[in-house]
Amino acid sequence: MTTSEAQEYDPFAAFDDVVAGTSRDPWPALAEKRRNAPVSKGYTMSPDVLPEGFVPSEEYIAYRYDDCSRVLRDAKTFSSTGYDTSIGMVLGHVILGMDDPEHRTNRNLVAHAFREKALARWEPELIGPIIDEQIDRFVADGEADLVRQLTFEFPVRVIARLLGLPEEDFPQFHRRGIELIGLVADIDRGLAASEWLREYFSALCADRRAHPADDLISDLVVAEIDGEQLTDEAICSFLRLLLPAGAETTYRSSGNLLYLLLTHRDQLAAVQADRSLLPQAIEEGLRIEPPLLTITRTTTSDVEVGGVQLGPGEQITTHIGSANHDETRWDDADSFDIFRPSQPHIAFAHGPHMCLGMHLARLETRVLLNRVFDRLPDLALDRSSDPYIRGDVFRAPTALPVTFSAA
């Protein structure tokens, strides 16, 4: 490796260190917040890690399940439009930052593609083969890092193939997408990535108008709102959102669940022996280690939350990670237990902005675990390492070294 290559900016590491955060165990501090300051001012991202020029402001943060659920369900009092002036700098105007009726209209354009029934054909045609391709590369080795060699890449490949992107563009597409959402790690790179993706997707839109294909971009270029076709800018904004929304979170949630099972051998053995337990294992993994911990809203009027009075125009962040550990809702909430009584969590949010891709995320994780269990017998963590889940805003293990019986 040359000196220049060694010094090359790594957007993935920068995103984990600055945006995602580095806390290994935030749960005790969050439990204290739920007890003593359930709605209070604070920072979701530590000012200490932000680059020069970024000055975060304190915001209200809600830590209890009931308060978080209420804020996310009440889209009239708690608006999503604040995202237009934050991540909207690089994504553009997207459904993430829209309120109804605009949000509902735009969401409906693509919602059909992500319905549970519509996803059924993706397992044998798309998701399963992609995962098998990844496993084929290391199955004979008897060891692997399941993050770098599997969970990190496969959701990006699923999204890229849904969009109909050329295979050779996948690495660049992934890199630019992480630079995009890593805006606070390097604002110039974030803005440059946004422009690169806009130009890239604009060219693809022009191509699909001339040569329609069986992919999501072809569907979007003919979609209409109130009789008007979507502009290239609107399509590009949605596509720039799709990578972080669809790939970043799934890579994290699947890695989290693998780590949790590998560190709870009795539950791993139960799931391997009875695959019908997979759905409840997936939900418990999402509950105790959600891939994204915070969602922010802006108040539109005077409102009281958790005993605290807020005026209009205030930012309030729902800490869904804390909400999913609320001891008033789950017994022994900090323990991973796939056999606990079923109780809805909030990892996919609530209300009108509930995650559009939640069915895809669940499907991808189920297929991934089935393939891993089928093809990697005697799977175990490599005990010479110390993998762990980390993060304050996004959470995942950055490495997951394992051993298994080689094929």
Average pLDDT over residues 13-36: 86
> pLDDT by residue (tens digit) across 268-306?
999 999 999 999 999 999 999 999 999 999 999 999 999
Q: How many domains does the chain have?
A: 1
pLDDT in tens, 37-81: 999 998 876 666 665 666 667 899 999 999 999 999 999 999 998
Task: Give the structural domain span for 283.
Answer: 3-332+346-403
pLDDT of residue 77: 97
Do the domain assignments include residue 72? yes
Residue 8 lies in a domain: yes
Mean of the pLDDT values across residues 336-352? 94
The pLDDT, as a whole number, for residue 128 is 93
- 34 located within any domain: yes
Contacts of 120 (CB under 8 A, 6+ apart): none
pLDDT single digits (tens) 302-318: 999 999 999 999 999 99
Tell whether 388 is covered by a domain: yes
For residue 334, give every residue at least 6 positions away whose Cβ sits within 8 Å of its Cβ, in sequence order, or none.
27, 31, 288, 325
19 domain-assigned: yes
Picking from 17-26, 158-167, 190-199, 353-362, which range would have the lowest pLDDT averaged per residue? 17-26
**pLDDT for residue 3:** 37
Q: Is residue 340 part of a domain?
A: no
pLDDT at 381 over 50: yes
Average pLDDT over the chain, rounded to an integer: 88
% of the chain residues with pLDDT over 70? 93
Flag whether 337 is in a domain: no
Q: Is 18 among the domain residues?
A: yes
Query: CATH no. for residue 246?
Result: 1.10.630.10
Higher pLDDT, 397 or 180: 397
